[in-house]
Amino acid sequence: MKRARQNFLTKNLFNREFNVIPFKNSKLNHIKRIVSFLIVILIAASCKTVPITGRKTLNFIPDSQVLPMAFAQYDGFLRENSLSKDAVKTQQIKDIGNRISKAVDRFMRANEMTEEANSYRWEFNLVEDETMNAWCMPGGKVVFYTGILPICANKDGIAAVMGHEIAHAFAKHGQERMSQGVAAQLGGMAVALGTANKSEEARQIWNIAYGVGSQLGMLKYSRVHENEADKLGMVFMIMAGYQPREAVNVWIRMSQLGGSQPPEFLSTHPSNQSRIKTLTDYIPEATRLAKKFNAQMLAQ
């Protein structure tokens, strides 16, 4: 459903961008060939590696372009939504966010990502909304919805979700999705993003890429991205001093909610059961990595 909507959107943008230009066919074909060639070059030059997991990704949308947009989108979201009036819960979200972001920041500075660390503007807010959702935009802009707090249940559960969402931003999953969309559509999305970042279309692309509008924001990405965020998130939460077992318990509670879940092979997301197993199996490795990174930072 979401994929269909995204295709529809990007197709529309693509058609719109190219239909309004009254080129003759031959000239249009020539331009298409040049654009295709440039995109191949761009893709070759845009292969990056996700720190810690070492996964190769495609990302040619630079932070310098995305971060100012993320900060503006975040401020806009906060203006249009109500912050929780529960001061205690709000402070808990901010405290846990600060602890995990400090661990991520220290990791970046110890691993030649100082420029990136400097560009982050960490912020943590709790909005009054019963949707079971949380997300982190590029540059460290986090929102928790009150609806996800029962699943989190305690500070370690909040840290598990916080670590997971921050990991999506850290690994630049949204930019990777945008890059894939751009590559697939020969620049239609890039044109839209570059020229009309206040338009409704750009806002929708943004929301799709970052899961802002989705029910169950934690299930918004592909299996690969979810698994990677689960693993990175667990490393970050341990670095910040939280109990990784609670990441498993969050998904046990999620599975106990019931509701119909599609079989995993039909879904782009890992099933709750496979997620519980992956997280459980990863606790020793995440603990080893967290200890290593914390020691590395102390040595500096």
- Which residues make up the interface to Zn ion (CB under 5 A)? 218, 229
Unique residue bearing structure tokens 């660390």? 117
116 included as an active-site residue: no
Q: Which two tokens stand for residue 36?
A: 């295709």
* Between 17 and 165, CB nearer to Zn ion: 165
The CB-of-135 to Zn ion minimum distance in angstroms stands at 8
Greatest extent of the chain over all pairs of C-alpha atoms, in Å: 65
The CB-of-276 to Zn ion minimum distance in angstroms stands at 15
* Between 39 and 276, CB nearer to Zn ion: 276
The CB-of-94 to Zn ion minimum distance in angstroms stands at 21
* Between 61 and 229, CB nearer to Zn ion: 229
The CB-of-26 to Zn ion minimum distance in angstroms stands at 46
The CB-of-96 to Zn ion minimum distance in angstroms stands at 17
Q: What is the DSSP string of 121-170?
A: --EEEEE---S--EEEETTTEEEEEGGGHHHH-SHHHHHHHHHHHHHHHH
Specify the 3-state DSSP secondary structure of 269.
coil
H or E element at residue 233: helix 223-239
* Between 17 and 226, CB nearer to Zn ion: 226
Q: Check: CB of residue 212 under 8 Å from CB of residue 135.
A: yes
Contacts of residue 70, defined as CB under 8 A and 6 or more positions apart, other chains included, come to 137, 138, 139, 141
End-to-end CA distance of the chain: 48
Query: Per the residue annotation, which of 17, 123, 165, 246 is the catalytic one?
Result: 165
Active centre residues (catalytic): 165
